[in-house]
Structure 1
Amino acid sequence: MKLKDSDWQGNFGYWQKSFIHNNLMMIGYAAWRGFLQHGRGVVICEVDRQAIAPSNTGLTVTPFQSQFIAEQELVTSIQAFSLDQELISVLAQAIGNYAPDREIVLLMKMEEHIEINLFQNLKIFPPDCYSQVSRRWEEFQPCLETQTR
């Protein structure tokens, strides 16, 4: 779901695609770790405004925080994001139907802007992301602080 706000899309097009591409391993890691600990859920990435700055080349690390919200905690935990009931229903349906070992439900938030994605047909699956990041944690640690609820 794309928002209409042109600021969200940045000066050089749709920045989310580059952000996700650069951080897919950590997003997959957070998704699988959360699933192992709590079952189905959604990865939430809170991205700093500098991700859409014209000076961001995509080669620099874009700071973000990630948390995993389990399906059973969704309604109470998601209230802080001010989603309307229709979006909560869409998100709950996606969480209830995705394949955790092959897909990722991702909610991206920058300030008041929110985007929900269901990633399918991934080149690397969440269990593989988890395995690789766990083995090479030092390489990935600077870009993400994960939380699980």
Structure 2
Amino acid sequence: MRIRELSWQRQGDYWQPLFIRENFLAIAAVAYAGFLQHGRGMVTCDVELPTHAPVDWSRDLLDHQICFQPLPYALELLSQLEVDEETCITLSAALADYEPEQEIMLWLRGNGDVQVMQLKNLAIAPVEAYTQLRQRWDEFQIGVSFERRVP
């Protein structure tokens, strides 16, 4: 299945896979760098999505912030979601059990919508993305933030 290249940013649209695809290396590198410095946690991405125009994912750059939240802060973020207790327990267990070298816990927010996901079976492991980014740092020039942010 091919992901749509153009996506309207409305409630219920699935822009998340397109954003992840275009920003995967940075997301994965931040995930592993955060793990090395703080242990388990979750990458948070806040994305500024246009509301009245489509996004051409191969050309348009969206303002966004990628940050790593250590486990205690990640659990605090999860507790703020309006989800049932079983879902909160499932997400907390995933944070405690994911494989940081191979998987990513991701909080993705755009236009007020939040999606939390566990990325598995990745073509490029977080440790490999981190290594690639460190070797080619000048090309990417991204900021890696490890400070706690209030959602």
User: What is the TM-score when the length of structure 1 is the normalising length?
Assistant: 0.79
The aligned counterpart of 1:102 is: 102
8 A Cα contact 1:69 1:77, kept in partner: no
The aligned counterpart of 2:61 is: 61
Q: Percent identity?
A: 31
The gaps in structure 1 that reach 5 residues or longer are: 1-5
2:144 pairs with one of 127, 143, 146: 146
Alpha-carbon distance, 1:145 to partner: 3.8
Aligned counterparts, 1:46-125, within 5 A: 46-50=46-50, 53-54=53-54, 56-59=55-58, 60-77=60-77, 82-84=81-83, 86=85, 87-125=87-125
Alpha-carbon distance, 1:96 to partner: 0.8
8 A Cα contact 2:78 2:91, kept in partner: no
8 A Cα contact 2:35 2:100, kept in partner: yes
8 A Cα contact 1:22 1:58, kept in partner: yes
Alpha-carbon distance, 1:35 to partner: 0.2
The gaps in structure 2 that reach 5 residues or longer are: 1-8
Distance 1:37 1:113, change over 3 A: same
Alpha-carbon distance in structure 1 between the residues aligned to 2:104 and 2:12? 22
8 A Cα contact 2:49 2:62, kept in partner: no
Q: Deviations over 1:13-49 (max 9, x none)?
A: x221111111110000110011001111110000111
2:10 pairs with one of 7, 10, 13: 7
8 A Cα contact 1:46 1:66, kept in partner: yes
Distance 1:17 1:72, change over 3 A: same
RMSD, aligned CA: 2.4
Greater share of helix residues, 1 or 2?
1
Q: Deviations over 1:68-115 (max 9, x none)?
A: 111133344556x54446354332111111100000010101132100
Distance 1:20 1:124, change over 3 A: same
